[in-house]
Chain A
Amino acid sequence: MSTTIEEAPKGAKASQKYFGRAMKRVEDPRLIKGIATYVDDLKLAGMLHAEFVRSPHANAKINSIKTDGAKKLPGVVAIFTGADVNDKLGTIPCATPLPGGKSPDHKVLAGARAYFVGHPVAIVVAETRAIARDALDLVEVDYDPLPAVIDPEKALEKNSPLTHPELGTNIAFTWSISGGDVESAFKEADRVLKIRLIHPRLTPMAIEPRGCVASWHAGESSLTLWTSTQIPHLVRTLLPGLIGIPENKLRVVAPEVGGGFGSKLNLYAEEVVISHLAIRLNRPIKWIEGRRENAAATIHGRDQIGDHEIAIKKDGTVLATRCKAIVDVGSYCQLLTPAIPTLTGIMLCGCYKLKAVQMEVTGVHTNKMSTDAYRGAGRPEAAYIIERVMDLVASELGLDPVQVRLKNMPEPTEFPFQTATGLQYDSGNYQAAFNKARELADWPNLLKERDTARKAGRLFGIGLSTYVEICALGPSKTMAAGGWEWGCVRIEISGKVTVITGTTPHGQGQETSFAQIAADRLGVPIEDIVVLRGDTATAHFGRDTYGSRATALGGTAIVMSIDKIIEKTKTLAAALLKSTPEKIEFEDGKFFVSGEANNELGWGQLASEAYVAKNLPPGFEPGLEASSFFEPPNCTFPFGTHIVAVEVDRDTGQVKILKYIAVDDCGKQVNPLLVEGQVQGGIAQSIGAALMEKTVYDENGQLLTGEFMDYAIPRAADIPDYVLGSTETPSPSNPLGVKGVGEAGTIGATPAIANAVIDALSPLGIRHLDLPFTPERVWRAIQENGGGS
């Protein structure tokens, strides 16, 4: 079912649409050839290099920091501790604080205490990176290690040590949602099921770690910050206040970014202190994160524990769920930390008609790195919860998991669908995706295969997940810094087209897909279009890339801009064709007087006239450029069905994925090849989360999964052949009808794999097992249930 790649035909006629075509990415050649420019490729004259002294303790009092020896090392320029910089800088922001939340001031460097392993304690600036690294070993920090707060449940006990004693509590925030009449739904229930579901802490592990270069232009009193980020615009919004320069004196550039997955959706202490010191030392400074630093000091994801109660009817109707959840937020609330569990809460209905939902969240401070958005960000938790629940309901009632799901789904006619949590699902046809996935999986034969395998004593399981997620975040009223998106289109004097997006693609391929959208709308060959992104000096506004928002919102802003240009150009064409704007038609890149198609003007001629400006009609502003802000009326709600068949090795606990079928509906697809890539990558990360990934701190708060030798991520050989399909239910939330697909795989896949593994183990009487299904965990469950060979 893999997508067939269609090359753009050379000299294609404009009428051959690009939208919907599986085209190779224009980004790929530079990436494959190794000639792309990442932060670490930047070399500026006089550039210094920084390295951070980081706490080796999870919780420690810092008695003293001696830097004399390190400063003597030839090539060391300066060393700064918290005492040298903290009072000159603002604190690291959390954009989504919750009412009543208690969080400490998040200073850029540790002060009197270090709160997690990897906490930056001091910064060394030197002529080379090697010298900076050598100097780290010469900085003497006198620590008094203190008992670490590690287990978030124990952290809530009365006698627990406190992560931040000055707060008097380990509770960072509480949040709750209650939709529908929860109490009466539970009264109406025939049975109430209970289950604890755990979402392990995960390390995003972008292949390119973080890094930045800051350069102060003393003559202009302005700063340029190149940083490996998903959000240059949000950094430009947040950073000026922290370092005390005006916003219009700051340019932020995200050059090529080698993976983000939410881990670069933050303003980090390192970016702030490097910016500050570039000004203070009046020299450019580069900092590149090492892998172990990345594992320890870049945000982690997930880490939720939920105790769930599910009200059900005997016929399989799921009436309501309620849960108490604990979220381990780590030592500080980073940019979006408190928002993540709220996304879980609002998505708990999944694609089902629950009458009521309640969730009470307690965010807990521990001596670990902060948790924040990791691909899916709250929605994988919700999908996992409701999809495990559907299987539990089926197994408790002896019903078919297919029928339980179908019974609880809204019909296509019920859209827009109002959920108990207050969302309006924009459009959907869950049954269509569900049925198509079962067709692709050859469902009846798959069941027979399972029967045959089980009769032979094999542990063979089939798992389903029918997910829905929330994308295109999101109307501004729900977003701290606005949820609009900006785009700009310029027809250059030569007729070539420059498209500028306020989103910040970092692997998603929008240099290609936005060019496809623009080429169709303008009626020009795609080769004539360049898409610029990621530089606040060229993309004047933007809310960047996260929450699978870029195509739905950024793409629409581009379309709006093109429509403005076309309208304007009609006036010019009318003057040149001696007609009136109302009579001008635009088709395939040509302007002509209605009924006189043989007398037409193209973009080349019109752009030349617009800029040379000798024959402009009265009042016509020179130039052909327009920009637009798109404010979406609603989010989008992509959905789909994933089906997995697995076999478990009874002797070793090893899980093998035998079949993987996914049908995703992300609305209209601009480029099916990019959609497939996103789905494939997302499923791969889900395979990691389901089978191998877990961030482990020991009881002293030491990080035991600090590098790829100990933190497993899936490799090519772990990925099964995917059978991929799609359905297409356009979104009414934007004129393109697109929904977003960047996170679908990480949301839909984990529960499908989990359900398959637990189905495989079900003949042994196993009802549930927590993620990840590592061999030892599975083997132990088999042993405990008498299933060993």
Chain B
Amino acid sequence: MMTLKVNGQNHEIDADPDTPLLYVLRDDIKLNAAKFGCGLGQCGSCTVIVDGNAVLSCVTPLLLLEGKQVTTLEGLGTIEAPAPIQRAFMEEQAAQCGYCIAGMMMRAQALLQKNPKPTDEQIRAELEPHLCRCGTHMRILRAVHRAIRLMDTADASSATPGRAQ
């Protein structure tokens, strides 16, 4: 048994310590955003944020997460109260099938939390581990640029929803 902190909530997880986080998120906690794309750390669909860093949850065993904070896309916002990154992706219609998008968004969110004004080059380099078979890349880039602007204005006002630990 292990206590796992996800999106600010503690969960008691009954799984072997070598179980990758992805299966715990999806099967034990029943969260949908992190996806199984390859199970090998080669596509990025499983990306979540752990202590502020983007991490491939399909190759991150539970035992590495002792005492750490995990944030998934669900933890950033909802349809009614979306985080800037979620709003940006909706406004740019940045998804075709959408399977890769949660991973893309978490990687982008981690980047923007560390560097609120990345260049286009830096965004591209950061998203390099992520695959999109549909070819939505240009919209994803536009959405990240839009998120930069939205986060800028959000910070200008008071409490910012959608900030991952």
Do A and B actually bind? no
Q: Which residues of B contact A (CB under 8 A)?
A: none
